[in-house]
Amino acid sequence: MTTRLTAVYPGSFDPITYGHLDIIKRACQLCDRIIVAILVNPNKSPLFSLDERLEQIRHATRHLPAVQVDSFSGLTVNYARMHNARILIRGLRAISDFEMELQMAHTNKTLAPEIETLFLTTSNEYSFLSSSVVKEIARFGGSIDHLVPPEVAIAVSQKFTPHPASCPSSPVL
């Protein structure tokens, strides 16, 4: 009998980028099932609601049968245990990521010694890319088409487009 290898890829995904998708696709080559799990973090005010992010990731990964999309609150290792996942996937872009990621991996190891953190280095072309960079560019009207899937690019731009109804000088018809 072969054992199916399940991995959890946790994160905020606010929004999902081509960098995240690159990691997900490569993780699919290594594991049988990848659960992309959005942390519900009460201390953060994300640009996108949980439902919006779930939908964006489901749409962006619809061609990857090994991928499931879910959300969780609390400790990542507890979520991983609940789903029989032995691996946590994290992407590493640069040295600047390393300190924080190492601390997180060590913390998780003390909490759940049976779970391994697997770091995948992001492809060179996405080494600068983060959800924050995407939002920053869009906020100032720059193009993000090369950074996120088309539906996400539209959704991000809409968030930063002033709604006419909310403009005080709009005439009331």
**Catalytic residue positions, numbered:** 20, 44, 93, 131
Degrees, nearest 5: CA angle 29-33-39: 110
Q: CA 145, CA 104: separation in Å to the nearest integer?
A: 31
12 lies in the site for ligand PNS, by CB under 6 A: yes
Binding mask 109-138 for ligand PNS (x = CB under 6 A): ------------------------------
Comparison of 39 and 153: residue with beta carbon closer to ligand PNS: 39
Q: How many residues bind ligand PNS (CB under 6 A)?
A: 9
Question: Cis peptide leading into 168, omega within 30 of 0?
Answer: no
User: Nearest approach, Cβ of 36 to ligand PNS (angstroms)?
Assistant: 11
Of 111 and 170, nearer to ligand PNS (C-beta) is 111
Nearer to ligand PNS, 21 or 39 (CB): 39
| Segment 31 to 50, residues that bind ligand PNS, using CB under 6 A | 39
To ligand PNS, the closest distance from the beta carbon of 23 in angstroms equals 11
E strand segments, the chain: 6-11, 33-39, 67-72, 87-92, 116-121
Query: CB 38 → ligand PNS: shortest distance, Å?
Result: 8
Burial of residue 119, with CB atoms counted within 10 A of its CB: 0-12 exposed, 13-18 middle, 19 or more buried: middle
Cα–Cα distance, 154 to 141 (Å, whole number): 12
- Determine which residue in the list 10, 15, 19, 149 makes contact with ligand PNS, applying CB under 6 A: 10
Other Cβ atoms less than 10 A from the Cβ of 80: the count is 24
